[in-house]
Amino acid sequence: MQKNIINQIQACASMQELEELRISVLGKNGSLSRKFAELKNLDEDSKKKTAANLNKEKDEFNKYYNEKAQLLQEKELELKMQENVFNFAYFDDRAKTAAFHPLMQTMDKIINYFVNLNFSIESGPLIEDDFHNFEALNLPSSHPARDMQDTFYFKNKNLLRTHTSPVQIRTMLKQKPPIRIIAPGAVFRRDFDITHTPMFHQIEGLVVEDGDRVSFANLKSLLEEFLIYIFGDVKIRFRPSFFPFTEPSAEVDISCVFCKGSGCRVCKHTGWLEVLGCGVVDSNVFNFVSYENVSGYAFGLGIERFAMLLHKIPDLRSMYEGDLRLLEQFR
């Protein structure tokens, strides 16, 4: 190869210059390409000899070109990394301290309350079968309440659990009373708006004792003390409701934390906000786990709902968007 071509390659200061040189040599109208085009005018012997020399020049050019290209690419990458390097001096002292997500703050606060009352923490799989998620909770296949669950099903008929209640069933199947547990964790339903997400978190509680030692009065007393601990000086009411796995059942409301019960848009001008569901465990549930002569109560609440009320967050979805403008308020 001509010495000046090699010098030109080595003198290129950027990939753009190197590419322009490549086109001038190997492009459609490049100097070496034109020589290849002239081979047709030579006799057979001269064509072979000239073609061999031209291919050698081409290979040599490509060798020097590739070596130079690698050097230039490494240099450009290094410059780009230097331009984009993080300057941590831009961060203020607040960036040196961490904080819990408001959802986790709320969950920890609730868990700590019940752990101090001698509740143990139990967990279960996120992927459940029909028996633990529905059947054993007094929700047979024909039960209309199944339509309320908006369930994610798999092809093998397993499903993403729609509540943490299966943990209660699994706990009762592996141990005998007395039972005093809470089951925190993620659950899944096909729903998405300002107050619902496809994945959210629940804490459910279960107390089971031998005989008739557990009553709705015990449940009511426990939940009233709990809600005052969480929300402070609020009014509390229990409304009769229906849940397949408890009977009698109730939904629990607190006076609106936004308007103090006077009526606003958040509470739909009723002055009340629903916060949890509860009830005395249905005897059919005990039959599924082979419990006899026992009594118990259960309750369940959504962590996101409690977090929204505690921190006055208007849109549930904002807790999952990672927006620092929201999260830095909980430092």
pLDDT computed for residue 2 by the predictor: 67
Give strand pairing partners of 193: 196
Task: Identify the CATH number of the domain defined by range 102-330.
Answer: 3.30.930.10
Q: Find the range with the poorest average confidence among 94-98, 112-116, 296-300, 306-310.
A: 94-98
pLDDT of 148 higher than 60: no
Domain ranges of the chain: 3-85, 102-330
Which pLDDT score, from 0 to 100, does residue 279 have? Answer: 96
pLDDT in tens, 221-243: 999 999 999 999 899 999 999 99
Average pLDDT over residues 142-146: 68
Rounded to 5°, the CA angle 215-222-272 comes to: 110
In the predicted model, what is the mean pLDDT of residues 25-31?
85
Cα 89 from chain centre: 31
pLDDT score for 164: 94
Range 61-70 average pLDDT: 87
Looking at per-residue pLDDT, the higher value among 168 and 88 belongs to 168
Residue listed under structure tokens 């868990």: 111
Segment 207-211 shows an average pLDDT of: 94
Give the pLDDT band (50/70/90) at residue 94: low
Please state the rounded mean pLDDT for residues 39-43: 83
Average pLDDT over residues 85-95: 60
247 among annotated binding-site residues: yes
pLDDT of residue 14: 87
